[in-house]
Structure 1
Amino acid sequence: MTVMTRTASAHASAATADEGGSWLTTLADWTVSLMDTIGPAGAAIAVGMDNLFPPIPSEVVLPMAGLAASRGSFTLAEAILWTTFGSVAGAFILYLLGRWLGADRLRRIADRMPLVTGDDVVRSVHWFEKHGSIAVFFGRMVPLFRSLISIPAGVARMHWWKFGLLTTAGSLIWNSIFVMAGFLLGENWHIVEQYAEIFQTIVIIVVAVLVVWFIVSRVRELRRGRSSGPGTAPERSGSA
Structure 2
Amino acid sequence: MGLLGAPGAGLAIFLENVFPPIPSEIILPLAGLAAYEGKFTIVEAILWTTLGSLLGAYLLYGLGRWLGHDRTVALARKLPFIDEDDVTKTVAWFNRHGNKAVFFGRMLPIFRSLISIPAGIERMPAVRFGLLTLAGSLIWNTLFVGAGFLLGPAWEQILIVADALKYLVYAGLVVFVAWFVWTRVKKARAKRAGGTA
Instruction: Give 1:182-201 correspondences, 5 Å limit.
Output: 182-201=148-167
- Measure, in 2, the Cα distance between the counterparts of 1:208 and 1:92: 28
Q: Residues of 1 paired with 2:90 and 2:137: CA distance?
A: 24
Please show how residues 24-35 of structure 1 align to structure 2 within 5 Å: 35=1
Cα-Cα RMSD: 0.9
**Shift of residue 201 of structure 1?**
1.3
% identical aligned pairs: 54
Runs of 5+ in structure 1 lacking a partner?
1-34, 232-240
* Deviation, structure 1 residue 119: 2.4
Q: Which residue of 2 aligns with 1:76?
A: 42
The farther-off stretch of 162-171 and 120-129 is 120-129
1:46 alignment partner, one of 2, 7, 12: 12
The 4+ residue runs of structure 1 with deviation greater than 6 A are none
Partner of 1:150: 116
The alignment covers a number of residue pairs equal to 197
Aligned to 2:64: 98
Aligned mates of 2:127, 2:189 — CA distance in 1: 45
Partner in structure 2 of residue 23 of structure 1: none
Q: Which residue of 2 aligns with 1:28?
A: none
Decide which of 189, 202, 206 is 2:172's aligned counterpart: 206
Instruction: Tell me which of 137, 148, 154 is aligned to 1:171.
Output: 137
Partner amino acid for 2:100? I
What letter matches 1:105 in structure 2? Answer: R
Q: Quick one: distance in 1 between partners of 2:88 and 2:66?
A: 16
Normalised by the length of structure 1, the TM-score is 0.80
Residue 109 of structure 1 is matched in structure 2 by 75
The answer to whether the aligner puts 1:132 opposite 2:98 as a matched pair is yes
- Aligned letter for 2:120? G
- Kindly state the Cα deviation for residue 125 of structure 1 after the two structures are TM-superposed: 1.3
The structure with higher relative contact order (CA 8 Å, sep 6+) is 2
1:201-240 equivalence runs, <5 A: 201-231=167-197
CA distance in 2, matches of 1:71, 1:209: 42
Tell me which structure has the larger Cα radius of gyration. Answer: 1
Conservation of the 8 A alpha-carbon contact between 1:106 and 1:118: no
- Specify the alignment match of 1:85 in structure 2: 51
Q: What TM-score does the superposition give when structure 2 sets the normalisation length?
A: 0.97
How far, CA to CA, are the matches of 2:180 and 2:54 in structure 1? 31
Distance 1:148 1:200 in 2: 15
CA deviation profile, 1:155-202 (whole Å, cap 9, x unmatched): 110000000000000000010000000001011011012221222111
Q: 2: CA distance between counterparts of 1:36 and 1:110? A: 44
Instruction: Return the offset for 1:47.
Output: 0.8
1:60 match: 26
Contact 1:103/1:122 (CA < 8 Å) preserved in 2?
Answer: no
